[in-house]
Amino acid sequence: DQQVKQNSPSLSVQEGRISILNCDYTNSMFDYFLWYKKYPAEGPTFLISISSIKDKNEDGRFTVFLNKSAKHLSLHIVPSQPGDSAVYFCAARAFNQFYFGTGTSLTVIP
In the bound state with another protein, the residue whose beta carbon lies nearer, of 32 and 62, is 32
Compute the distance between CA of residue 103 and CA of residue 96 in angstroms, rounded to an integer. 21
Rounded least distance, CB 3 to another protein, Å = 11
Sign of CA dihedral 28, 52, 18, 42: negative
Strands (E), the chain: 4-5, 10-14, 19-25, 32-38, 45-51, 56-59, 62-67, 72-77, 86-94, 97-100, 104-109
Compute the distance between CA of residue 15 and CA of residue 33 in angstroms, rounded to an integer. 27
Rounded least distance, CB 63 to another protein, Å = 18
Rounded least distance, CB 49 to another protein, Å = 7
In the bound state with another protein, the residue whose beta carbon lies nearer, of 10 and 14, is 10
Rounded least distance, CB 96 to another protein, Å = 6
Point out which residues bind another protein (CB under 8 A). Answer: 2, 4, 6, 32, 34, 36, 41-46, 49, 51, 89, 91, 95-103
In the bound state with another protein, the residue whose beta carbon lies nearer, of 42 and 110, is 42
| Three-state secondary structure call for residue 5 | strand
In the bound state with another protein, the residue whose beta carbon lies nearer, of 44 and 63, is 44
